[in-house]
Amino acid sequence: MPRKKTFESTLMQLEEIVRELESGTLTLEESIKKFETGMACSKYCLQTLDKTEKKITLLMKDSQGDLVEEPFNHES
Amino acid sequence: MPRKKTFESTLMQLEEIVRELESGTLTLEESIKKFETGMACSKYCLQTLDKTEKKITLLMKDSQGDLVEEPFNHES
Amino acid sequence: MPRKKTFESTLMQLEEIVRELESGTLTLEESIKKFETGMACSKYCLQTLDKTEKKITLLMKDSQGDLVEEPFNHES
Amino acid sequence: MPRKKTFESTLMQLEEIVRELESGTLTLEESIKKFETGMACSKYCLQTLDKTEKKITLLMKDSQGDLVEEPFNHES
Amino acid sequence: MPRKKTFESTLMQLEEIVRELESGTLTLEESIKKFETGMACSKYCLQTLDKTEKKITLLMKDSQGDLVEEPFNHES
Amino acid sequence: MPRKKTFESTLMQLEEIVRELESGTLTLEESIKKFETGMACSKYCLQTLDKTEKKITLLMKDSQGDLVEEPFNHES
Amino acid sequence: MNSKNSPQIYTVSGLTRQLKQLIESTYPFVWLTGEISNLSRPASGHCYFSLKDDGALINGVMFRNQLKRMPFNPENGMRITGMGRLSLYEPRGNYQIIFEHMAPDGAGLLHAKFELLKKQLAAEGLFDKSHKSTLPFLPLKISIITSPTGAVVRDIIQVSQRRFSGIHLEVVPVKVQGDGAETDIEQAIETVNKCATSQVIIVARGGGSLEDLAAFNSERVARAVFASSIPVVSAVGHETDFTICDFVSDLRAPTPSAAAELVLPERKKLHRDIITYENALETALKRGLKHLKTQVKTLNSRLKNPRSRVDDLRMRLEDLEKRLTGRMQGQLKAHGERLSWYTNALYAASPLRRVSEQKETCRFLHRQLVQSMVSTLTSARSKIHENHSKLGALSPLAVLHRGYSITRTRDSKQKIITDSTTTKNGDSVEVLLSKGRLICQVEKQYAQKENI
């Protein structure tokens, strides 16, 4: 993939695929290919969302935890 | 970090982050990053306030304490 | 300290600090520093007043006491 | 002391001190010093007056004592 | 066949054959030929569909499967 | 005659002292000194009044022409 | 030259002037006795007369001022003795005597002598004030030069003792009248001066006629008084009588008792004065002290105790500290509130919800994806089925069920044989039956319409 795969672009791709599939203009072979890609997109998105959810939950749990001396190292 | 991190600048950063998060224009990835930073800011501010409160309490307690011969050495 | 610390100058410093704090233009860090200095000033003033009061009490007691042959030696 | 302390000079000093204290322009430290000196002056003046009064009484008694010793025979 | 045989083109051929057969203008010999070709088309299409269905089922199973229990109820 | 001069001058001195004291222009120390001197003057004058001798004589020349002093009986 | 040989010639005026100078300088004062004649008293009040004796006559004048002091009125024929100065009146060329004093002969002579002596002594300066010494304030010894008997000495002693009892009074007895009185008094003054124990001399005598007082008008007594280094008080006669002694003395008392009063201060009064002074001293000093005390006390009460100032400062300090801590705590609280608000906002804006929404979207899309795939497949399948069944219905082989059969060549063309002639014997043909097929060999061909 040339450009970075982001959640949003993937989700958009998925949406596009769904729309194309629903349009009924695709050949069966195309449909299958699209479907395959759509499934991958869906999988990626869901996995990304799952990871994100876990991360946020962790962060929120962490914020009620111990002192963090230097929390801004990701900005450096 | 180039400039000194102060309570105010951190609080302002937190404000900005909240505003950005609320605007809904961020990508998910950005949101996460911002949220993470926001959490760190909040934590830092809270800790700073706690430390300050302790210091003030100490100072106020101290002011009712014994005689201090030379209280202005931090000004010299 | 370069100049002699007097009660009046210290009280004025305290007043200035209170005014600055009340102006609300200080950062938290500045506020704390000012507060610390202010408390030190307050303490010094209070102690000076205590000492002064004791001295006055002593003087008043003394003035009802015996004859003082040479009361002006502190002026020489 | 360089110059002789007289009653009048002390009284004048007391007056000056009272005026200075009443002017309200003195610092606390100066006030105390002035007050102290004022008390000493007042004391000195009163004592001087008392001593003088006693001396006069003594002198008067003395002068009448001798008179009684040698009464005027033409008055008898 | 010059062009690639696709599901769609085959289906269209089948439809064409049906239409020709219905027109009744064909000779028996043509009819039989068409018929036979139609049967072959139909067979091909069905086989293609079957393969496709299997592939999709596989894909869906792969994508955690739990999302869609059994999409092809026509087989039951 | 020294004594003769003294009574009068002493009386005059006393008068002068009274005038000076009543003028109210003297310092306390001067006043006391003057008072003391005044009292001494007064004492001296009163004593002088008491101590003068009472005598009536007759100055005669005897047969040799020498001077003799005889009591003079003026009441006969 | 002329003046040497020739006689000097005077002008009338010149001569008269020289005569006037000669007369007036030679006789500044003359005593003259004679009989008054040609008396005239014009309106001017002056008195013009001639004084004559047996052999001569001289013009005289007495001016109004002198006349006033005369104890008698001059008359023609009166014999008088007078004193005056000679004067030459140039316009008339006559001379006259201008009388200062005159008296009828007899008493008049004595009086005239008195006046003469008085004038002489005055001219000598014996009466000058500059020579008079002041009396001692309080003499310790007083010499009384007078007759030891009589009222005078008694009066003096009495008054003296009344005024100041403790004084030494020394009586120096002298004759005060008649022969030897002059000498007595003179010597007494000298003696007292020689003794030098007295501080005052009183020369005293009662009143009397001019003759009685002759000793006190004598030049010797006057000079003795003048020479005395001890101050002399003259107390001669009564009130109006003046003697030469009175003039020369340092002080003239109108009466002897007055002399005692003048010489001696009153002891009681002195004592009273001294006591008064003493009291004045005390009063003045005490008043001064009282005043000073009041002043000191007033100042002392005004001496502001800095304690109240300390209290004020304490209150101010407390206020400042309260504001300081209040403000600091307030700031902390405000910061805390703001922080907690933003923190809450952050939590609220956390991407968690978005994640779940996205998840929902994802699942939805997934479902859509599958559904549309499934429906695509389903519709394809139904389309195929439809055509398949249509195809079945249109099958040209349906006639076979009725017993027909179709014969085809077995070559690749599978050409249906509708004309028997198209076949040759021995050809293998395929016969399609309702059920199954037959592979047959052509044995014989028949022409058309022959088969029925």
* Number of CB pairs, chain A paired with chain E, less than 8 A apart: 24
Rounded to whole angstroms, the Cα distance separating E44 from E48 reads: 6
For residues B12-33, average pLDDT: 89
Rounded to whole angstroms, the Cα distance separating G219 from G451 reads: 243
Question: Do residues G394 and E23 make contact, with C-beta atoms less than 8 angstroms apart?
Answer: no
The CA dihedral of D39, D45, D46, D51, to the nearest 10 degrees, is 140
- Could you say which of G325, G342, G351 has the minimum Cβ distance to residue B11? G342
Residue F71 carries which DSSP code? E
Alpha helix positions (H), G125-202: 151-163, 181-195
Residue G121: both structure tokens together: 């002594």
Q: Is chain F in touch with chain A: ≥3 Cβ pairs within 8 A?
A: no
Q: Indicate the range of E3-7, G362-366, G373-377 predicted with least confidence.
A: E3-7
Chains that touch B (3 or more CB pairs under 8 A): A, C, G
Chains that touch A (3 or more CB pairs under 8 A): B, E, G
Contact criterion met (CB < 8 Å) for B32 and G351? yes
Q: Determine the distance from the C-alpha atom of residue F21 to the mean position of all C-alpha atoms in its chain, rounded to a whole number.
A: 22
- Give the percent of chain G with pLDDT over 70: 96
SS3 of G328-339: the string is HHHHHHHHHHHH
As assigned by CATH, the class of the G133-265 domain is alpha beta
Residue G419 region, left (φ>0) first, then alpha (ψ -120 to 50), else beta? beta
Across all residues in chain G, what is the average pLDDT? 86
Across all residues in chain A, what is the average pLDDT? 78
For residues G134-159, average pLDDT: 90
What's the confidence (pLDDT) of residue D67? 45
SS3 of F4-53: the string is HHHHHHHHHHHHHHHHHHHHCCCCHHHHHHHHHHHHHHHHHHHHHHHHCC
Rounded to whole angstroms, the Cα distance separating B1 from G314 reads: 47
* A contact test, residue of G352, G376, G377, G381 with most A CBs within 10 A: G376
Instruction: Report which of residues C3 and G90 the model is more confident about.
Output: G90
Rounded to whole angstroms, the Cα distance separating G423 from D60 reads: 194
Rounded to whole angstroms, the Cα distance separating G268 from D72 reads: 10
Instruction: Count Cβ atoms below 10 Å from residue B21 Cβ, excluding itself.
Output: 22
Q: Which amino acid is at C63?
A: S
Rounded to whole angstroms, the Cα distance separating F65 from F69 reads: 13
User: In this model, does residue G3 exceed pLDDT 80?
Assistant: no
Find chain C residues with C-beta within 8 A of D1's C-beta.
70, 72-73, 75-76
Q: Locate the chain D residue with the closest alpha carbon to G274.
A: D63
Q: Is chain G in touch with chain F: ≥3 Cβ pairs within 8 A?
A: yes
Q: Quote the Cα angle for F54-F56-F58, to 5°.
A: 155
What's the confidence (pLDDT) of residue G238? 64
- Could you say which of E42, E68, E74 has the minimum Cβ distance to residue G387? E42
- Chain C nearest C-alpha distance from D36 (Å): 7
Contact criterion met (CB < 8 Å) for G338 and B46? no
Contact criterion met (CB < 8 Å) for E55 and A43? no
Chains that touch E (3 or more CB pairs under 8 A): A, G
* Number of CB pairs, chain E paired with chain G, less than 8 A apart: 82
User: In this model, does residue B74 exceed pLDDT 50?
Assistant: no
- Could you say which of B28, B39, B41 has the minimum Cβ distance to residue A59? B39
Q: Which amino acid is at C43?
A: K
Chains that touch C (3 or more CB pairs under 8 A): B, D, G
Instruction: Count Cβ atoms below 10 Å from residue D61 Cβ, excluding itself.
Output: 9
Inter-helix orientation angle A7-23/B28-63, to 10°: 150
Which residues neighbour G147 within 8 Å (Cβ) at sequence distance 6 or greater? G153, G173, G174, G175, G176, G205
Q: Which amino acid is at D33?
A: K
- Could you say which of A11, A28, A56 has the minimum Cβ distance to residue G358? A11
Residue A8: both structure tokens together: 């949003």
- Chain G nearest C-alpha distance from A22 (Å): 6
Q: Indicate the range of A36-40, B64-68, D52-56, G67-71 predicted with least confidence.
A: B64-68
Find chain D residues with C-beta within 8 A of F32's C-beta.
52, 55-56
G12-105 under CATH 1.10.10.2840, yes or no: no
Element housing G376 (H / E): helix G352-393
What's the confidence (pLDDT) of residue B60? 84
The answer to whether E38 faces chain G, any CB pair under 8 Å, is yes
SS3 of B23-74: the string is HCCCCHHHHHHHHHHHHHHHHHHHHHHHHHHHHHHHHHHHHCCCCCCCCCCC
Find chain C residues with C-beta within 8 A of B60's C-beta.
39
Contact criterion met (CB < 8 Å) for B1 and A67? no
What's the confidence (pLDDT) of residue C72? 46
Residue G58 carries which DSSP code? E
User: With bands split at pLDDT 50, 70 and 90, how would you rate the model's confidence at G190?
Assistant: very high
Contact criterion met (CB < 8 Å) for G384 and E14? yes
Question: Do residues D72 and F50 make contact, with C-beta atoms less than 8 angstroms apart?
Answer: yes
What's the confidence (pLDDT) of residue C14? 93
What's the confidence (pLDDT) of residue G116? 81
Torsion sign, CA atoms D56, D60, D66, D69: negative
Contact criterion met (CB < 8 Å) for B60 and G325? yes
Residue G129 carries which DSSP code? G
Q: Locate the chain G residue with the closest alpha carbon to A11.
A: G362
Q: What is the ipTM of this complex?
A: 0.65
Find chain E residues with C-beta within 8 A of A29's C-beta.
6-7
With CA atoms as reference, report the closest residue to E67 among G45, G363, D35: G363
- Could you say which of F22, F31, F52 has the minimum Cβ distance to residue G280? F22
Q: Locate the chain A residue with the closest alpha carbon to E7.
A: A28
User: With bands split at pLDDT 50, 70 and 90, how would you rate the model's confidence at G144?
Assistant: very high
For chain F, how far is it from start to end, CA to CA, in angstroms?
34
Residues of C contacting chain B (CB within 8 angstroms) = 1, 5, 27-29, 32, 35-37, 39-44, 46-47
Across all residues in chain F, what is the average pLDDT? 82
Q: Indicate the range of C50-64, E37-51, G438-452 predicted with least confidence.
A: G438-452
User: With bands split at pLDDT 50, 70 and 90, how would you rate the model's confidence at A63?
Assistant: low
Q: What phi, psi does B2 have (nearest 5°)?
A: -75, -55
User: With bands split at pLDDT 50, 70 and 90, how would you rate the model's confidence at B71?
Assistant: very low
- Chain E nearest C-alpha distance from A73 (Å): 37
With CA atoms as reference, report the closest residue to C9 among G108, E60, B72, A57: B72
Find chain G residues with C-beta within 8 A of D72's C-beta.
271
Residues of E contacting chain A (CB within 8 angstroms) = 6-8, 48-49, 52, 55-56, 59-60, 62-64
Residues 277-336 on G with a CB inside 8 Å of D are 278, 282, 285-286, 289, 292-293, 295-297, 299-300, 302-306, 309-310, 313
Rounded to whole angstroms, the Cα distance separating D63 from D76 reads: 20
The answer to whether F7 faces chain G, any CB pair under 8 Å, is yes
Find chain E residues with C-beta within 8 A of A32's C-beta.
52, 55-56
User: With bands split at pLDDT 50, 70 and 90, how would you rate the model's confidence at C35?
Assistant: very high
What's the confidence (pLDDT) of residue A71? 43
| Residue where the block lists tokens 């569909």 | E49
Instruction: Report which of residues B75 and G68 the model is more confident about.
Output: G68
Confidence (pTM): 0.56
Inter-helix orientation angle A7-23/G352-393, to 10°: 20
- Chain G nearest C-alpha distance from B45 (Å): 7
Alpha helix positions (H), G27-150: 64-69, 107-124
What's the confidence (pLDDT) of residue G183? 92
Rounded to whole angstroms, the Cα distance separating F35 from B72 reads: 61
Element housing G37 (H / E): strand G30-40
The answer to whether C46 faces chain G, any CB pair under 8 Å, is yes
Find chain G residues with C-beta within 8 A of C33's C-beta.
none
